[in-house]
Structure 1
Amino acid sequence: MADKIKLLVAFLLLVAGIVGFYYLHESAAVLQLASVLVGVVLAAVVAYTSEPGKRFFEFGKDSVAEAKRVVWPTRKETMQTTGVVILFAITMALFLWAVDASLMMVVNGLMGRGE
């Protein structure tokens, strides 16, 4: 039950930051931004004290670690793959144009509208 209350408080702090943004609509943009940032930071701190919050932040750290292990393609591989995709798109466009034109000619011929 304590975790649910902590998450509710975190949500209310987040909402308070957003409400502060709109409440300060005539103030400087820095104050509006500060209102949202304070709400987000306080909400994150409160959420982190709950068990689901700790699991969420641990998941985030694991995700960052996993992203660092990804092997990204080289520039050459990227350019080759992009070229294949563009060539395939052009080929499919020409094929579909040919099919469309052929069907149009057949339909016009069947309807007696020879060109």
Structure 2
Amino acid sequence: MSNSSQVETVSNSGDKVKVILAIVVLVAGIFAYSFFTDYSIYARLGMFLVGLVVAIALLAISDTGKRILGFATGSYAELKRVVWPTRKETIQMTGIVFAFVAVMAILLWIIDKLITWIVYGVVLGWN
């Protein structure tokens, strides 16, 4: 039985260079924003935004970026299908959680005091 299947990842070196370059440009934009503190906030924000836009553009033309964009699009479409609870349901569930936590805290406090009494009072004979 020589049924060997090979998994092949499709990635070329040009794609890797684009992704690495996008990361470098993004880091350069962040660095420029924090290094040039003597410039106005608008100039610094502009440096960051230019780095961000160039990084996104580089990532968008790579195969990895296209896969990420497809994943993000699918995730957003799935997010729109989620049925979110109403405000009333959220408040009710939060109240139930708080009540459960309070009951468990009291129960654990009682168990702790019982174990303390058994160990120190009964077993060791301390008061």
Q: TM-score w.r.t. structure 1 length?
A: 0.91
1:28 to 18, 21, 40: 40
Q: How many residues align?
A: 114
Report the equivalent of 2:86.
74
Selected match of 2:59 from 35, 47, 50: 47
Q: 4+ residue stretches of structure 1 with deviation over 3 A?
A: none
Residues 6, 47 of structure 1: 8 Å contact kept: yes
Alpha-carbon separation, structure 2, partners of 1:21 and 1:65: 34
Q: Whole-Å Cα distance in 1 between the matches of residues 40 and 24 of structure 2? A: 24
- Displacement of 1:31 in angstroms is 1.7
**Higher mean C-alpha deviation, range 58-67 or range 105-114:** 105-114
Q: Is the 8 A contact 1:10 1:46 kept in 2?
A: yes
Equivalence for 1:112: 125
| CA apart distance, 1:101 | 0.7
Q: Percent identity?
A: 41
Contact 1:13/1:43 (8 A) holds in 2: yes
Residue of 108, 111, 119 corresponding to 1:96: 108
Gaps of 5+ in 1: none
| Cα distance in 2 for residues equivalent to 1:18 and 1:74 | 40
Gaps of at least 5 residues in structure 2 are: 1-12
Q: Which moved more, 1:69-78 or 1:86-95?
A: 69-78
Task: Tell me whether 1:64 sits opposite 2:79 in the alignment.
Answer: no
CA RMSD of aligned residues (A): 1.2
